[in-house]
Amino acid sequence: MSIRHGLLALLERGPRYGSQLRTEFESRTGATWPLNVGQVYTTLSRLERDGMVAQSGEDAAGHALYTITEDGRTELRTWFEKPVDRTSPARDELAIKLAMAVGAPSVDIRDVIQSQRRHTVKAMQDYTRLKAQALAAVERGGARERDDVAWLLVLEQLIFQTEAEARWLDHCESRLIRLSATAPGAPAGPAAPTVPGASAAAPEAPAVSAAPRAHDTSTTGTPGAR
Amino acid sequence: MSTQQPVLQLQNLTRVHGSGATEVHALRGIDLAVYPGELVAVMGPSGSGKSTLLTIAGGLDTPSSGRVIVEDTDITAASVKELAALRRRSIGYVFQDYNLIPALTAAENVALPRELDGTSARKARVEAVAALEEMGLGHLADRFPDEMSGGQQQRVAIARALVGDRRLVLADEPTGALDSETGESVLALLRSRCDAGAAGVLVTHEPRFAAWADRVVFLRDGAIVDQTVRSDADSLLSGQVAEA
């Protein structure tokens, strides 16, 4: 996450002091990626060292104000113009976990998939409720509209991301079922029918993970609404 | 929420199609209670029993064993006549393909179940227009189905499902024929009706639409294997962020 560029973007709208930058950053992103004031000042002093911001006196309350420099503006423009690199993906714990669960002796990969699916769908439920609130805020309009729109976009990104993950999990499960159906003894765990009629052939087949699990009470890392 | 009576209760529900060698266990011991104000999504791969569950909950099919209780009535023990009355008065059904009557306007479609139930045409019409207006659909009242978009038709179908005293809406892939933006608007309406006190069951294979629910139930091979539990709204709003 680029705190550096985020701060430059906020400073482009006028001089600001450290805790003000933190508040504005969090209003835009709904505190999805919380910043502490220390990170803000560390980043500001690096930006100052690199000549992208300059201190420009104090406001009436004695806060040290920072202003973007011409170099800072150039850096910011480049950031907006240049796409975020997706060709060297960050390490994804879930993909690694499923890759390791294929054929692992101690775990049924379908259990791993289902427990992740529950967690992912739960996170989507939380994001969707926050989105409904953000949408209502945007429709009301008002002074904070720009921040509300920014927050809505961030939430929708989270929803798209979790949706992609949920779909991928469904896909993994059905692929494993298909593979185990064609290759007996494959590592997908007990074969389960994918078509309604198929269960007729084996009504005594063990129901996979038929016992309801304990309810998930863990938090899902939900960003708070403001 | 739990102090209230559920609007819908499914108790140890099973459904077996066929017999002997061709026996299919579509549902195996389903227990589910849906409370006023609650929207429950049922997810699962095709063939997991989602639609069977919904048709039995709506009295459109009968279970092999177990009970379906709507409000206070056991619909599995009801006579055909009682069941028909219950379906008109207590249960609203929303289908993937809207199922509005083409020869009737939106208001007439919404008024129909009330008229069938003995309400005068005039009163039913007033109620229907009020229901449409309450859902922000007043401008559609005099349109025929073929003069409305799919999303508009589906929202009218939701209004029809919940007109009068009915407070149970069963929706089977209601967004299946809609693009995702329109699907969202249909879900937003369903959500707002549940927030206003209705109980809803939504069958969908789309996680994005299931995410509008308070609870998501996962069905596999005719059994509930897992479910999500709604987080406490207060903790969601207090700005708490889990430590990464």
Print the domain residue range for A119: 93-189
Residues A58 and A123 placed together within one structural domain of the fold: no
Give the pLDDT of residue B3: 66
Give the pLDDT of residue A183: 66
Write phi, then psi, for B199 (nearest 5 degrees): -110, 135
Question: Considering the domain boundaries, does residue A210 fall inside one?
Answer: no
Are A209 and B225 a contacting pair at CB < 8 A?
yes
For A98, other C-beta atoms within 10 Å of its C-beta total 18
- Number of domains within chain B: 1
B219/B222 Cα distance (integer angstroms)? 6
For all residues of chain A together, what is the average pLDDT? 82
Which of A33, A119, A128 should be substituted to probe chain B, the one whose Cβ sees the most B Cβ atoms within 10 Å? A128
Structure ipTM: 0.81
Are A224 and B231 a contacting pair at CB < 8 A?
no
Give the pLDDT of residue B212: 95
Q: What is the pLDDT of residues B40-84, one digit of tens each?
A: 999 998 889 999 999 999 998 999 999 999 998 999 999 988 888
Sole residue written with tokens 């995410």: B211
B171/B58 Cα distance (integer angstroms)? 10
B182 touches chain A (CB under 8 A): no
In chain B, pLDDT over 90 holds for what percent of residues?
65
Question: Considering the domain boundaries, does residue A88 fall inside one?
Answer: no
**Which DSSP symbol is given to A225?**
P
Q: What is the pLDDT of residues A44-80, one digit of tens each?
A: 999 999 999 999 989 889 999 999 999 999 999 999 9
Residues A46 and A103 placed together within one structural domain of the fold: no
Residue A207: closest CA among A189, A180, A186: A189
Q: Which helix (H) or strand (E) holds A72?
A: helix A70-81
Question: Considering the domain boundaries, does residue B70 fall inside one?
Answer: yes
Higher per-residue pLDDT: A118 or B241: A118
A25-44: b or e for each residue (b if 16 or more CB lie within 10 Å)? bbbbbbbbebbeeeebbebb
Higher per-residue pLDDT: B190 or B3: B190
Instruction: Place B9 in a pLDDT band, splitting at 50, 70 and 90.
Output: very high
- B208 within 8 A of A124, measured Cβ to Cβ: yes
In chain B, pLDDT over 70 holds for what percent of residues?
93
**Partner B, chain A 98-137, Cβ-Cβ below 8 Å:** 114-115, 117-118, 120-122, 124-130, 132
Residues A114 and A60 placed together within one structural domain of the fold: no
Give the pLDDT of residue A185: 52
Give the pLDDT of residue A127: 94
Give the pLDDT of residue B232: 57
Instruction: Place A31 in a pLDDT band, splitting at 50, 70 and 90.
Output: confident
Q: Which chain A residues are within 8 Å of B23, Cβ to Cβ? A: 200, 203
Question: Considering the domain boundaries, does residue A200 fall inside one?
Answer: no
Which of B206, B219, B228 should be substituted to probe chain A, the one whose Cβ sees the most A Cβ atoms within 10 Å? B228
pLDDT at A106 over 60: yes
Higher per-residue pLDDT: B230 or B61: B61
Tell me which long-range contacts B195-198 makes (C-beta under 8 A, separation of at least 24): B195/B37, B197/B36, B197/B37, B197/B167, B198/B7, B198/B36, B198/B37, B198/B162, B198/B167, B198/B168, B198/B169
Print the domain residue range for B88: 8-229
Question: Considering the domain boundaries, does residue B2 fall inside one?
Answer: no
Q: How is the beta sheet containing B215-220 ordered, strand by strand?
A: B91-94, B168-172, B199-203, B39-43, B215-220, B223-227
A37-49 vs A3-11: helix crossing angle, rounded to 10: 80
For all residues of chain B together, what is the average pLDDT? 89
B216 vs A125, A192, A196: nearest CB: A125
Question: Considering the domain boundaries, does residue A165 fall inside one?
Answer: yes
Question: Considering the domain boundaries, does residue B239 fall inside one?
Answer: no
B117-141: b or e for each residue (b if 16 or more CB lie within 10 Å)? eebeeeebbebbbebbeebebeebb
B27/B13 Cα distance (integer angstroms)? 7
Give the pLDDT of residue A198: 40
Q: Which helix (H) or strand (E) holds B33?
A: strand B24-34
- Number of domains within chain A: 2
pLDDT at A14 over 70: yes
Q: Which helix (H) or strand (E) holds A64?
A: strand A64-68
A128 vs B212, B218, B242: nearest CB: B212
Q: What is the CATH number of the domain that holds B12?
A: 3.40.50.300
In chain A, pLDDT over 90 holds for what percent of residues?
55
Separation of CA B21 from chain center: 34
Q: What is the pLDDT of residues A136-146, one digit of tens each?
A: 888 888 777 88
Give the pLDDT of residue B89: 86
Question: Considering the domain boundaries, does residue B83 fall inside one?
Answer: yes
Are A213 and B212 a contacting pair at CB < 8 A?
no
Are B24 and A196 a contacting pair at CB < 8 A?
yes
> Mean pLDDT over residues A174-190, rounded?
68
Give the pLDDT of residue A212: 39
A69/A8 Cα distance (integer angstroms)? 9
Tell me the sheet residues that pair with B37. Answer: none
Residues A172 and A98 placed together within one structural domain of the fold: yes
Residue where one domain finishes, among candidates A81, A113, A139 = A81
> Mean pLDDT over residues B214-243, rounded?
71
Q: What is the pLDDT of residues B84-135, one digit of tens each?
A: 888 888 899 998 888 899 999 999 999 998 998 889 999 999 999 999 998 8
Measured distance between the N- and C-terminal CA atoms of chain B, rounded to whole angstroms: 32
pLDDT at A191 over 50: no
The two three-digit tokens of residue A22, written as one number? 């933190």
Give the pLDDT of residue B231: 64
Residues A144 and A57 placed together within one structural domain of the fold: no
B213 touches chain A (CB under 8 A): yes
Residue where one domain finishes, among candidates A47, A81, A115 = A81
**Which DSSP symbol is given to B20?**
G
Give the pLDDT of residue A89: 82
pLDDT at A5 over 80: yes
B45 touches chain A (CB under 8 A): yes
pLDDT at A9 over 80: yes
Q: Which chain B residues are within 8 Å of A132, Cβ to Cβ? A: 188, 191
Residues A62 and A113 placed together within one structural domain of the fold: no
Give the pLDDT of residue B164: 81
